[in-house]
């Protein structure tokens, strides 16, 4: 066994439910202590995503990223995701919560705006745009990931 999956029933009320926070944090620490990766299912809000990342969760899945889709639509979804978020040959900067490298040009496109705002929140998107507009290096890393967005 290499992976432990946290059921959505514990994830759904994060970050507001103190009891679920305690359980999820303990499960993540236990799994990591045993050398396992952690997957949280049922992530539906940017606040939940930010909390799980801060708690050290390795992987998340849920409707925040995509609803179920036909197999034919999946290829287009993956291509759009890849084109919006990653291109190793372009200058890039990181948004502050998820720390994903995003092409600088995407900061000023509807797709880039939608990606960062949807996954990280409006405050994160505004910081991302500010970084992109002042970036002079090939890659600008986040300043200690700033603080998570408030909503």
Highest mean pLDDT range out of 4-18, 45-59, 97-111? 4-18
Residue 148 counted as domain residue = no
pLDDT at 103: 56
Are 24 and 55 in contact, with CB atoms under 8 Å apart?
Answer: yes
Kindly state whether residues 55 and 85 are assigned to the same domain.
no
Tell me what the mean pLDDT of segment 13-42 comes to: 95
Kindly state whether residues 75 and 133 are assigned to the same domain.
yes
Does pLDDT of 67 surpass 60? yes
Six-digit token string for 49: 């995503």
3-class state of residue 122 by DSSP: helix
Domain enclosing residue 51, as ranges: 3-61
Are 90 and 132 in contact, with CB atoms under 8 Å apart?
Answer: no
CA distance 111 to 97: 18
Name the domain count of the chain: 2
pLDDT at 55: 94
**59 against 112, higher pLDDT:** 59
pLDDT at 113: 61
Kindly state whether residues 51 and 84 are assigned to the same domain.
no
For every residue of 27-83, DSSP letters joined together read HHHHHHHTT-EEEEE---SHHHHHHHHHHT--EEESTTT-----HHHHHHHHHHHHH
Q: How are beta strands 92-94 and 139-140 bridged, if at all?
A: parallel
CA distance 34 to 13: 26
Tell me what the mean pLDDT of segment 38-57 comes to: 90
CA distance 20 to 42: 14
Q: Which residues contact 79 (CB under 8 A, 6 or more apart)?
A: none
In tens, the pLDDT along 109-141 reads: 666 666 655 555 555 656 666 666 655 333 433
> Lowest mean pLDDT: which of 30-39, 53-62, 88-97?
88-97
Kindly state whether residues 133 and 76 are assigned to the same domain.
yes
CB count within 10 Å of CB 117 equals 18
Q: Which residues contact 40 (CB under 8 A, 6 or more apart)?
A: 5, 6, 11, 24, 52, 57, 59, 60, 61, 62
């Amino acid at each position: 066994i290499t992976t432990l999956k946290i059921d959505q029933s514990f994830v759904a009320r994060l970050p507001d439910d103190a009891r679920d926070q305690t359980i999820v944090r303990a499960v993540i620490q236990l799994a990591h202590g045993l050398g396992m990766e952690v997957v949280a299912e049922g992530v539906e809000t940017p606040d939940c995503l930010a909390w799980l990342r801060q708690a050290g969760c390795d992987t998340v899945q849920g409707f925040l990223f995509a609803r179920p889709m036909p197999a034919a639509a999946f290829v287009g979804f993956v291509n759009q995701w890849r084109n919006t978020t990653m291109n190793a040959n372009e200058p890039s900067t990181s948004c502050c919560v998820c720390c994903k490298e995003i092409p600088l040009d995407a900061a000023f496109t509807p797709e880039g705006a939608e990606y960062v705002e949807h996954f990280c929140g409006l405050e994160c998107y505004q910081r991302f745009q500010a970084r992109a507009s002042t970036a002079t290096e090939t890659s600008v890393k986040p300043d200690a990931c700033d603080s998570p967005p408030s909503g």
